[in-house]
A = this chain, B = another copy of it.
Amino acid sequence: MTNTQVTLVQIDNYGPWTVTPEPRREVDLQTLQSRLYADLSQLVGDRGGYVFFTRFDNMIAVTNGLDMDDHAVIQESVGNRYPVSISLSVATGQSPAAALSDATERLQATGSAQDKSRREILEGRAIESDYRTDEDVHIAHFDVIDATGEYTDQLNAFDSFIEIEQGYAALMKYMRQENDALSFFVGGDNIIATCPELSAAEYEAAIDHVTAVADVDLRVGVGIGTDAHNAGMDAKHALEHARADDTKVEFLR
């Protein structure tokens, strides 16, 4: 049984800021967003968590191992170094989607994402350390079978990207609807999902669905651990095994 702790990271009042007093240079916005994401990756990653860039103005993190004080330090550090501030909402649930719904509702209850006076909210509860187990987090790491040979070295770079993007769009929707899992594109041909406990058959069904809908062939390695980093490293190793043995689903724990 998983017990995923999810944190919603939302840049406060970001949309209005990007066009006030007039639209800001796109390259500066891109730089700001991607560096903020990189910094959060390090700040959360130093404590065993994973952050996903998602929409960049709304990011989703798996934060088992981070207590509310850790969240407060991260919020303060961003406030000290960026022209924008962030709100954080933390929740836990048996499925990642349930946890995120809870976290989102808590944040929405404090005001709109574009409410000028709603700043640096820190809401929710982290799992107390006594209640943590070594099965709390399940991470599934997907990639595209022979992406380089099939796409990167064959199609033009955008058409390769279309294939991967359609595969991702299909997988993220299926995994959310069927499994209450949250799936994130992380670059290259890689997708990382935070999942509840799922069987090999359920992973196979997801892969088959993507092949059917988007004609993209995926493979997955699954890891289980106390936090995203532990589970994620096992997932990477499982994926290496799947690649070596030419299998579609591999577990490691």
A interface list, Cβ under 8 A from B: 8, 10, 14-15, 18-19, 22-35, 37-39, 41-47, 50-51, 53-58, 60, 73, 76-77, 79-83, 97, 100-101, 103-105, 108, 112-114, 148, 152-162, 164-166, 168-169, 172-173, 176, 182, 186-189, 192, 229, 232-233, 236-237, 240
**How many copies of the chain does the oligomer comprise?**
4
Given A80-B24, A164-B55, CB of A176 within 8 Å of CB of B158: yes
**Chain B, residue nearest A228 (CB):** B26
**Chain B, residue nearest A39 (CB):** B42
Main secondary structure of the interface of A (DSSP, over half): helix
- Cα-based distance from A82 to B108 in the complex (angstroms): 27
**Could you give 19 example pairs across A and B, Cβ below 8 Å?**
A10-B157, A19-B240, A22-B237, A23-B240, A26-B236, A27-B41, A27-B45, A29-B187, A31-B41, A31-B45, A42-B43, A57-B188, A58-B160, A60-B158, A101-B156, A158-B176, A158-B182, A162-B172, A165-B169
- Cα-based distance from A100 to B15 in the complex (angstroms): 31
Contacts of A154 in B (CB 8 A): 108
When the two chains form their complex, are residues A153 and B108 in contact, meaning their CB atoms are under 8 A apart?
yes
- Cα-based distance from A152 to B107 in the complex (angstroms): 11
